A and B are shown apart, each in its own frame.
Chain A
Amino acid sequence: MKLAKLSLVAIVALSVSAFADVENVKFSGNAKLFYGTNDAGKADLFDKKGAYGQAAATVAVSADLANGVAGKLSATGLSTLGLENNLVSATWAGFAGGVDAQWWVQEAWLAKTFGNTTFKVGRQELDTPLAFTEKWNIAENTFDAAVLLNSDLPQTTLVAAWVGRGNGTGDGGVVRGIVNGSDPFVTYWKDGAYAFAGITKLIPMTTAQVWYYDVVNVAQAWWLQADVDLKDAVPGLIAGAQYSNIDVEGVSDDASAWAVKLGYAMDAFKLAAAYSSTDSDGPVRVANTATMLGKSSQSKLYTEAWWNYGYVSAPDVDSYMISAEYDMEDVADFYAQYTSADAGNKAPVKDMDEFALTASKAFGNLNTTLAYIYTDADDQNGGDSYNTIQLYLTYNF
């Protein structure tokens, strides 16, 4: 793994030095400390046994070079800071690594733009509907990939991507933990994956996107989405619709889901409501393939819960979500979301209701977020509801 890390560093370093006309090179990063506690089981809030905590640091160097070349190299490290001795009994990310400190190359990519075409290759974040970097945790999964973007067609972007490896995991820890120096990046499913997309704004007031995925020798999938800005009818009103189908090889039934959303925004105030339904015979969740479509995989469905992932995207589940957001100037940013998932007989999950309330406040470059989550799921905590409190501290430098 060390050789692989060095190779990635060398590629970027050599490439940077190869382009003498450097426009700017920026060194930056962030430090995070996340803490969570719940009163599930016999634990009380803030008890060590119901608490989880971890620290992370990311340092990055990004460069804009002449001739349309850009690059970035970043490394992420995780540490418990010894919190397990007194305050917590679990970590947020990289579970396999336990309480050992671990670090890896998070991003190492180069991009070159030729006219309206950009080619980006290397370790990078992705943001596509069924293969994406999950950002809710203290560490984020990335991909060894190559992406081609073209915008020759008016108001349209065409995307072609190949994904060879990734460090996502389905155990809820988002990134694969590093054990005795192991390489956390492994082949994407069996033989990698391809994705192709068209994203267009040619339809008035509408952003439409069509994605096709081929997870080689595993599954083929479609994702269709249209988001409409209805500001001409009512200023601030938006609507959206989604449909996805996943055809798993060797399985007769497909997984599919659809969702609709209505939203309203006025300056610092936002409201949204969404409904989704998944096919009852689906063999897998309609969620992030990067985290293995697992019970903790996040989904891009409009109804996705704030904290309890894996419910709205599971087969045979009907869900709705309502949310409200208000950025109160000089006070804090407030967000509230209620999610309800109604599971059918064939669902791998049971009914779940979640209410989440967050307050975020910036102190210069330090951002703090305090979250309260009420969870009432029939397949958690013996069917009893429980409370969770989380604190997110992020310092950007």
Chain B
Amino acid sequence: MRKLFFLFGMVLLLFAGEYITLDDGKVILLKPDGTWQEVKVVKKGSETIAIKPDGTWEKIDAKKVEAANKLETGIDKKYKDEPLVKILVGKWRGDGIYYEFTPNHAFMKLKDGHSRRTIEGKWIVEKLDKAKKEVVVNIGEGARLGFLTFGGDIRKFKIINDHTIQDITSQLDGKVYTLTKER
């Protein structure tokens, strides 16, 4: 019986602190029974405390709150370290257009008549022309089959400088958006 209690205790210890931060910032606790529950993590002085939905709480080691591993492919990371591409990371605003790029996520909002066209998801650099300072990115694609991509939007940018870019996607229609970086 003692062994059983000991084993049970060990299992609890092993799973205690299995906290994971998801992409959207939510923190979940992986429970020993194979289920999970969302918890709220707060700081009290130098201590980190997890507040559970059932009304209980526990002190946790901040180091044990891990970020969820992201599945990244070679295509996702291609060109991402290029200085011209890195300039894109940040918030950009132009007349009727807005972009928000983080290293792994992008959001686009484009005024489209009385509505807006919004695309959100991971972004991939399809093409980089260093001579012309042009970057072609694929935002929010759902699936890829070789050169065929499904869903999302392909946007073309001309990098003017660190604080100014042009969206030249609709250049053929005579429409070029100038965007400046938000602080």
Contact = CB atoms under 8 A, between A and B. Distances in A.
Given A362-B118, A397-B151, A70 B113 contact: no
Contacts of A360: 115-116
Interface string A271-293: 00000000000000000000000
B174 A127 contact: yes
Interface residues of B, number: 35
A70 B169 CA distance: 12
B117 interface: yes
A137 B113 CA distance: 7
Interface string A128-141: 10000011110010
A127 B111 CA distance: 14
A267 interface: yes
B140 interface: yes
A22 B140 CA distance: 21
Nearest to B116: A367
Contacts of B182: 267
Given A24-B154, A120-B172, A365-B118, A135 B149 contact: no
A336 interface: no
Contacts of A396: 117-119, 153
A159 to B, nearest CB: 7
Contact of A362 (B95, B120, B147): B120
A306 B115 CA distance: 12
Nearest to A360: B116
B71 interface: no
A26 B149 CA distance: 5
A105 interface: no
A26 B152 contact: yes
B174 A24 contact: no
Nearest to A393: B115
A386 interface: no
B112 interface: yes
B154 A128 contact: no
A84 interface: no
Q: Which of A26, A306, A360, A362 has the most CB of B within 10 A?
A: A26
B93 interface: yes
Contacts of A267: 93, 182
Interface string B135-179: 010101110000111111110000000000000000011110000
A371 B116 contact: no
Interface string B54-68: 000000000000000
Contacts of B175: 127
Nearest to B151: A397
Given A127-B173, A149-B172, A333 B116 contact: yes
A364 B115 contact: no
Contacts of B151: 27-28, 397
Interface of A: 22-28, 30, 32, 62, 64, 70, 111, 118, 120, 124-128, 134-137, 140, 147, 149, 157, 159, 199, 265, 267-268, 306, 327, 333, 358, 360, 362, 364-367, 369, 371, 390, 392, 394, 396-397
23 contacts: A22-B147, A23-B127, A24-B138, A25-B148, A25-B149, A26-B141, A30-B117, A64-B136, A64-B154, A127-B174, A134-B113, A135-B112, A135-B114, A140-B113, A267-B93, A267-B182, A362-B120, A365-B119, A367-B118, A369-B114, A394-B115, A394-B116, A396-B118
Given A126-B173, A365-B118, 7 more contacts: A26-B150, A28-B152, A30-B117, A62-B154, A111-B172, A306-B114, A364-B118
